[in-house]
Structure 1
Amino acid sequence: MKRETLAIADAAVFHQAEFESMPSPAALRARLPLSATAAATVAAGRQTLAEILTRRDPRLLVAIGPCSIHDIDAGLDYARRLQQLAEELSDTLFLVMRAYFEKPRTTTGWKGLINDPGMDDSFRIADGMAQARRFLLRVNEMGLPAATEVLDPISPQYLGDLVSWAAIGARTTESQVHRELSSALPMPVGFKNGTDGGVEAAVNAIVSASRPHAFLGIDAEGRAAVVRSRGNAYGHLVLRGGGGRPNYDTVSVAMAEKALVKAGLQPNIVIDCSHGNSYKRHDMQPLVLDDVVQQLCRGNRSIVGAMVESFLEAGNQPIPADLSQLRYGCSVTDACVDWATTEDMLRRAAAELREARSRRQAA
């Protein structure tokens, strides 16, 4: 990759050491084109999610998968298993695979596959972007829709055509850049409540993203451009806990509903079963999902989805100096439930929702 060294005129103002050129979004898409099968999966995924958000599809969205993708082979292994489970449970659940390539850090740490695919501080970002696109192509070609967090405002130009659902994280929900970007994204977007647990910033973000905007971005050729958006009508709230307490309980959900309605929004809520809602304990996620399902069985109409952090093996692991020592299928970021637990919690949720639906139809 060509490197262009900067002549730094004023070290007090400019701290860049160098620039490294990236292939344009158009060039990467030409190298890794969207296949007809993948395009059909993305289109069907977005349409189904829109129908869930507008109550034309009664199923529960479940965005589930590893906290982050660090091993392509393990990620695809997981995707193949999830695709089979998605077919089995498709009458009550709509499963979308988490494929997170960018990780926000409170201070420092591994920033994800795109930023550092080698997990060795080599920061081969062009390679990471290509690996992420290749992974999304493979997942969508299995017929499994993909979900990701939008952290860097440039990445969607490279990957957005392969994503059916996007999340804006708790740290970026207040960001004007991400609200503007979301207004132009072609898929439904979930805005997480703030790290303090409050929903006001996320509600404001949904309103903002629903409106047209003009903002700076890049075009398909990688040139700086003014982006003019039409607004995204499918923004919704993700409750992830915060401030040391969960917010998936019936009272918190009811208060979130009121905040959405007061802002003139459809009360669409997704419950993140991890993070603050599980006190950052992966083994608590099944209990959170059980509670969500019980709320739905009792007649809740605002909960439209859930998020679960799940991988092949339970827990997480630090990144070792010798990468050959990494445990296959175990997260290197947040701890996840294992595959056996994943199957059990999803099958149980589907069965309870199926039974509740049968009772309502018989009444």
Structure 2
Amino acid sequence: MQPVDNLHVLAFEPLTPPRALRERYPITEAAAQTVYETRESIKRIVRREDQRLLAVVGPCSIHDTGAALEYAGRLARLAGEMRDRIVIVMRAYFEKPRTTVGWRGLINDPHLDGSFDMNEGLRRARELLLRINDIGLPTATEMLDPISPQYITDLISLTAIGARTVESQTHRALASGLSMPVGYKNSTDGNVQVAVNAFLSARRAHSFLGIDQDGQSCVVRTTGNPDGMIILRGSSAGPNYDAATVVRTEQAMEAAGLLPAIMIDCSHANAGGDHTRQPHVWREVLRDHIASRNAVIGMMVESYLYEGKQPILADRSRLRYGVSVTDACVGWETTERMLIEAYEALKG
């Protein structure tokens, strides 16, 4: 008999069950309080019951947990000082969708060498999230894989479904079972309606294939997730953070029976792929929001210790500390200045 199955599979490598990793790095009372309080705050913000601005700032992706912790320490200080007007959440992105190929993030390839030591990647991600939440700073991430959430979601306060996966039935079903609010990005071609449809879908109950805490394959049955927002991230046609697009997005959400809640991604196509334009987008969106009190409830910024980006080098020791290896980020000084400007502008 000729072989007909798994013809292109090299190996099946067992993963540590989620329960084992959670027992190794159990959530602490302090971290649980951070997650609970922030989720509740975000729910009130998207329901328009809390007028504070939601600011999601941090690296495009995390590849160095030491640098990420230093960044978190700085951001936690600002978050504490500004909590009366701004809810600051740190971007902690561990999985990267690729248009073709490239480094797929800390969970998939923690050694940045194509070895795909995912057990180690999951361990590093959970340990880092625990340490960040322990200092009182909440975290946000993008959910890309339907298996990895079981390892880390108890330490996440906000998540996003990305522009490349917002039409995916798998990701809509996944979002329906998540325990935190979800942001749905417009597609890469600028289609906002698909994000609205994703939100509508995720509000409903779903059943899909997944794993439980013991790593057992199972049917996951969900109740639906009522809390979310649309994220405008620009498109192949250009930026979409302008007032007219915001109004059209509000109308599309209202027509679908959704309470309008919109986040503006200051990076990606809204900045034309130029990280130095993020402060410009930030200021324009903030100005329009204050002037019109529109449905914009928050903004997202790609930020790290130092500005720019760098290639992944064969000699890892030559990587520059605190510099992104994916999208270029604004540096800490710029980030701090942007947040201070917003805090002062929101005084009235």
TM-score by length of 2: 0.98
Q: Which SS does the other structure have where 1:62 is aligned?
A: strand
Quick check: 1:178 aligned with 2:210? no
Contact 2:52 2:84 in 1 (8 A): yes
Partner of 1:86: 79
Alignment of 1:135-214 (within 5 A): 135-214=128-207
- Displacement of 1:213 in angstroms is 1.0
From 3, 9, 20, give the equivalent of 1:9: 3
Partner Cα separation in structure 2 for residue 222 and residue 205 of structure 1: 27
Partner of 2:246: 253
Quick check: 1:304 aligned with 2:311? no
Q: Which SS does the other structure have where 1:343 is aligned?
A: helix
Partner of 1:37: 30
Quick check: 1:131 aligned with 2:118? no
- Displacement of 1:92 in angstroms is 1.2
Partner of 1:350: 343
Partner Cα separation in structure 2 for residue 228 and residue 204 of structure 1: 20
Runs of 4+ more than 6 Å apart: none
- Report the count of equivalent residues: 347
Q: Which SS does the other structure have where 1:77 is aligned?
A: helix
Partner Cα separation in structure 2 for residue 239 and residue 170 of structure 1: 10
Partner of 2:282: 289
Partner Cα separation in structure 2 for residue 22 and residue 84 of structure 1: 36
Contact 2:267 2:278 in 1 (8 A): yes
- Displacement of 1:115 in angstroms is 0.5
Higher RCO, 1 vs 2 (CA within 8 Å, ≥6 residues apart)? 2
From 208, 226, 231, give the equivalent of 1:233: 226
Partner Cα separation in structure 2 for residue 70 and residue 146 of structure 1: 16
From 224, 231, 237, give the equivalent of 1:244: 237
- Displacement of 1:37 in angstroms is 0.8
Contact 2:167 2:198 in 1 (8 A): yes
Q: What amino acid is aligned across from residue 9 of structure 1 in structure 2?
A: P
Structure 2 residues without counterparts, runs of 5 or longer: none
Contact 2:41 2:50 in 1 (8 A): yes
Q: Which SS does the other structure have where 2:299 is aligned?
A: strand
Quick check: 1:339 aligned with 2:332? yes
Q: What amino acid is aligned across from residue 242 of structure 1 in structure 2?
A: S
Structure 1 residues without counterparts, runs of 5 or longer: 1-7, 358-363
Partner of 2:313: 320
Partner of 1:3: none
Alignment of 1:29-68 (within 5 A): 29-68=22-61
Contact 1:210 1:235 in 2 (8 A): no
From 271, 274, 277, give the equivalent of 1:278: 271
Partner Cα separation in structure 1 for residue 137 and residue 44 of structure 2: 17
Q: Deviations over 1:152-171 (max 9, x none)?
A: 01111000100000000000
Partner Cα separation in structure 2 for residue 238 and residue 126 of structure 1: 31
- Displacement of 1:228 in angstroms is 1.1
Q: What amino acid is aligned across from residue 10 of structure 1 in structure 2?
A: V
Contact 2:238 2:270 in 1 (8 A): yes
- Displacement of 1:244 in angstroms is 2.7
Partner Cα separation in structure 2 for residue 320 and residue 244 of structure 1: 32
Contact 2:34 2:137 in 1 (8 A): yes
Contact 2:46 2:228 in 1 (8 A): no
Contact 1:70 1:113 in 2 (8 A): yes
Partner of 2:95: 102
Contact 1:114 1:129 in 2 (8 A): yes
Q: Deviations over 1:251-276 (max 9, x none)?
A: 11011111111111111000000001
TM-score by length of 1: 0.94
- Give the share of equivalent positions with the same residue, in percent: 54
Partner of 2:69: 76
Partner of 1:5: none
From 83, 102, 110, give the equivalent of 1:117: 110
Q: What amino acid is aligned across from residue 302 of structure 2 in structure 1?
A: E
Partner of 1:4: none
